[in-house]
Amino acid sequence: MEKLSPPFKVDIAGTLCPPATLKDAWMQYQKEQISLNTLQAIENAEIRNLVERLKSEGMKVVTDGGFRNRDFLEGWEGLGYKPHTADSASKVLELTGRISLSHHPILDDYTFLAGIVAGDVLAKQHIPSPGKLLTKILREIDASQLERIYPDVNVLSDDLAVAYKNLLSALYNSGCRYVQFDGAKSLLMDEAVRLNNRVLRERPDGLFVAFHAATDMLIRLHGADAYFLNYDCGICDRSRLLWFVREKEAVFGFVISYYPEEDELDELQAKIEEVLNYIPLKRFTLCLPDADSLLHPSEADEEKQWRTVKQGMDMAERVFSF
């Protein structure tokens, strides 16, 4: 059997629209109408359905679609949320000590996903980027609390780098060979850039890492195997990034920013052809839209998503036949 490895003609850049059954289960769990075990059983079933649907559409890479009702901050030591108070529905992030990570729930998520895919597709794991987490901590943690535990931000970066290194090593040892760092909505900070680059340098050999972010972050990264960009972000200096990726001999991920209509496909192909003036076809991948950009994905959005999957596969065949 052919060994599967990125880049793929069509990839998944973010979350996918959750089905109504899953959204209902999340709401029922929040209202304490179903147990955690029941919720996880429903999530497992919907992830199985998702993987089978992606395979039936011809996809060679699959994810869990972001179908887990879980915050990435679960499982961290020294970092978490304060319990909700009666007059506050918002989560308040707090530090209780030095940050570390031993076993993150994402490892169990990957093990489940890898266990339900056959050898004809590759399981991919999405993770918030290190810089995104660092930025969240610096912006949301109470300043006096942060100063007490981390008077030097470099020590905080060191602890996060070690934690991510342990997480990536554990994923690799579990069989994971493809990870994507998600940072499309994170702010640009020098500390975040340095942390991202350190984690990229220290990742396990043989682990393919794609990075999904804005141009100003991507163009300062060194060591990513693939650079994914929402191509119609409006403010990005695309040509500069494309030259950067070309010189790095890395993969460029053209992330479709919306669910296109039939009459928009020719325009989409023209944009792809622009990219191919810079990027060799063998280092180009077309990425499905990120449903996370939708505040409340509807059933209509889910239908548009699956139509876009078909269109993406057709577009890839058209592009790769050049």
User: Per residue in 4-32, pLDDT tens?
Assistant: 899 999 999 999 999 999 999 999 999 99
- The predicted structure's pLDDT at residue 181: 97
The amino acid at 177: R
Cα angle, residue 173 at apex, residues 64 and 81 outer, rounded to 5° = 55
pLDDT band of 236, cuts 50, 70, 90: low
Neighbours of 233 (CB within 10 A): 13
Element counts in the chain: helices (H) and strands (E)? 11, 11
C-alpha dist (Å) from residue 51 to 43, 54, 123, 232? 12, 5, 9, 28
> Distance between CA atoms of 196 and 224, rounded to whole angstroms?
10
> Distance between CA atoms of 266 and 38, rounded to whole angstroms?
45
The more confidently predicted of residues 262 and 39 is 39
> Distance between CA atoms of 268 and 277, rounded to whole angstroms?
15
In the chain, the domains with their CATH numbers are 10-319 (3.20.20.210)
Task: Give the residue carrying structure tokens 């973010």.
Answer: 14
Cα angle, residue 34 at apex, residues 31 and 38 outer, rounded to 5° = 140
> Residues with Cβ < 8 Å from 234, sequence gap 6 or more?
none
> Distance between CA atoms of 288 and 285, rounded to whole angstroms?
10
Smallest CA-to-CA distance from 208 within 184, 227, 224, 220 is with: 224
User: Per residue in 146-191, pLDDT tens?
Assistant: 999 999 999 999 999 999 999 999 999 999 999 999 987 777 789 9
pLDDT at 289 over 60: yes
Query: What's the average model confidence in pLDDT over 309-316?
Result: 93
User: Per residue in 207-232, pLDDT tens?
Assistant: 999 999 988 899 999 999 999 998 87
> Distance between CA atoms of 314 and 266, rounded to whole angstroms?
12
> Distance between CA atoms of 93 and 255, rounded to whole angstroms?
31
pLDDT band of 322, cuts 50, 70, 90: low
- The predicted structure's pLDDT at residue 294: 74
pLDDT band of 86, cuts 50, 70, 90: very low
Where would I find the H helices in 206-298? 215-218, 238-248, 265-275
> Distance between CA atoms of 120 and 253, rounded to whole angstroms?
22
pTM listed for this prediction: 0.93
Residue 44, judged by CB atoms within 10 A of its CB (0-12, 13-18, 19+), counts as middle
User: Per residue in 31-47, pLDDT tens?
Assistant: 999 999 999 999 999 99
Query: Residue 41: in which H helix or E strand, if any?
Result: helix 36-56
- The predicted structure's pLDDT at residue 88: 45
- The mean pLDDT of the chain is 91
**CB environment 192-230: b (16+ within 10 A), e (fewer):** bbbbbbbbbeebbeeebbbbbbbbebbbbbebbbbbbbb
Q: What is the largest CA-CA distance in the chain?
A: 61
**CB environment 15-28: b (16+ within 10 A), e (fewer):** bbbbbeebbebbee
> Distance between CA atoms of 261 and 75, rounded to whole angstroms?
41
Summarize the chain as % helix, strand, coil (round to 5): 45, 15, 35
pLDDT at 89 over 60: no
